[in-house]
């Protein structure tokens, strides 16, 4: 499914969450490795750097699209909240009431945008940490003095 198709209906939003669940699980698994200080080798760091970079690229793009759709849906629901009563011959709601209705109707888009933004941010932080660790390990190896065993 193309990214934009996920945002065409509430049902597709659920599909997006289902499709992203393996990514969320992997990000959380790597996060737990960090919390437990279990990543120790440059090879492990490099592996996770590649995985997280791919996830970040996808999540960041999804997050941007989700945020755009959130704004679009809120605007649509705001117009609907103001115009529907007028079309039915009733008084238009106050701006605050119309905004509250729009927020409530677009709640799934808001939650999804926030969730994707959160995972993208976590992933980005992990990438930065891994890059720092790889640089530190590289410097340690570069300036390592020979021991008697290596002579």
Cβ within 8 Å of residue 18, ≥6 positions away? none
Burial of 16 (0-12, 13-18, 19+ CB in 10 A): buried
Binned at pLDDT 50, 70 and 90, residue 150 comes out as: very low
pLDDT digits (tens, 9 = 90+) for 15-40: 999 999 999 999 999 999 989 988 77
Closest CA to 9 of 69, 83, 75: 69
pLDDT digits (tens, 9 = 90+) for 97-126: 999 999 999 999 999 999 999 999 999 999
């Amino acid at each position: 499914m193309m990214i934009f198709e996920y945002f065409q209906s509430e049902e597709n939003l659920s599909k997006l969450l289902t499709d992203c669940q393996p990514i969320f699980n992997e990000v959380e698994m790597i996060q737990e490795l960090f919390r437990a200080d279990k990543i120790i080798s440059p090879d492990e760091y490099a592996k996770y750097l590649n995985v997280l970079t791919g996830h970040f690229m996808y999540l960041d793009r999804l997050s941007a699209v989700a945020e755009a759709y959130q704004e679009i849906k809120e605007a649509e629901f705001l117009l609907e909240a103001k115009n529907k009563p007028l079309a039915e011959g009733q008084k238009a709601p106050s701006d605050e009431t119309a905004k509250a209705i729009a927020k409530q109707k677009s709640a799934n888009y808001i939650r999804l945008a926030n969730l994707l933004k959160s995972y993208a941010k976590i992933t980005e932080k992990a990438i930065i940490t891994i890059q720092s660790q790889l640089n530190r390990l590289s410097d340690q190896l570069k300036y390592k003095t020979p021991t008697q065993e290596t002579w």
